[in-house]
Amino acid sequence: MALKNDQYNQILREYDSRRISNKHALDHRMEHAYSLIPELRTLEEEIITLSAKCGRLALRSNDSNLSELKAGISELNARKEALLIREGLPTDYLQMHYQCNKCQDTGYINNAKCNCFKQAISDLMYSGSNIKSILANENFSKFSFNFYSDDYVDESLSLSPLSNMQKVVACCKNFIKHFNKNHDNLLLLGNTGVGKTFLANCIAKELLDRGYTVIYLTSFRLFDILEKHKFSKDDDSSYVASYQFDYILDCDLLIIDDLGTELNNAFINSQLYLIINERLLRQKATIISTNLSLPNINTNYGERIFSRIVSSYSVQRIVGEDIRLLKAVNQIDSQ
């Protein structure tokens, strides 16, 4: 299924804007560097001249002087980098900087859509549902173990909340490290406010930064899309839902947040099994967070779904106090 023309053009305009912004930023850096180090301009011009000569010789299959020219270019680049370092500037200061180095902000690699383009499509299709807008505050650099107590041991885990969370975070980082090899899945269990969604967002941020496609949906939003995909008769709604359904099955990471908050019925169960099973078959990773216990998952969704989850997901239970409540109390106390 293809994007509508206006949607496709909207994404292409964003890539045009990125490239223009990249060029303006480079021009600004060049102006700054040349004002600090006038010699750089001459070096850059010499490198361009020698590179052009290399290109002409390569077209003529003339290798006699090619190695000498390449050596000259390397020497000039080394001098340029030394001057930049001397002024405290990075060695790539005079190079184009891209948001996506894989496709150089074109959206395509060898006529195939880059992962960043696929993510742009999913962001467009799930407008208002993706997590990009909150990842600036919910990532590992903002994560704190200070909200997890080391004063008592949870009997069911034989660990303190702090020790357990350290174990869970280590598991999540291992999930990220081996993401493209192991095709793992995570089930995050725990009461409201213990950090399940925050942790899922931390993982999403790391994987988005590595160029993977990530879709975040609450369970309510997920099943709303699945219902529209199955039953909608409206052309536009059906079109969007079908496209969303394709991406739900095929994105690199699907996050289903707050499973169990939706109204449960036979349709929900059948669709959840479809999503879980199909993504397992495609070796696509899924993270599910829920307030439900394992026995409750079995009761609510049945043996078939329960079996697929416990056999194919790393189950991580988080214990502790409601962090949102603790933050609210701390904010009141500080006033």
At 99-151, the pLDDT tens digits run 999 999 999 999 888 988 888 877 776 654 446 677 888 999 999 999 999 99
Q: Which of 91, 313, 96, 109 is nearest to 211 (CA)?
A: 109
Sites in the chain below the pLDDT cut of 50: 1, 128-130, 335
* pLDDT tens per residue, range 179-190: 988 889 999 999
CA distance 11 to 297: 40
Q: What is the pLDDT of residue 183?
A: 85
As a whole number of Å, the CA-based R_g of the chain is 26
Nearby residues of 154 by Cβ (< 8 Å), 6 or more positions away:
160, 161, 164, 319
- What's the full length of the chain, in residues? 335
Contact present, 217 and 255 (Cβ < 8 Å): yes
Rounded to 10 degrees, what is the CA torsion of 311, 314, 317, 323? -140
CA distance 266 to 271: 9
Whether the model pTM is above 0.85? no
Q: Which of 73, 21, 25 is nearest to 49 (CA)?
A: 73
CA distance 275 to 254: 10
Residue 201: CB atoms within 10 Å: 25
Q: Which of 202, 216, 199 is nearest to 135 (CA)?
A: 202
Contact present, 197 and 135 (Cβ < 8 Å): no
SS3 state at 40? helix
Compute the 3-state secondary structure of the chain and give helix, strand, coil in percent, each to the nearest 5: 60, 10, 30
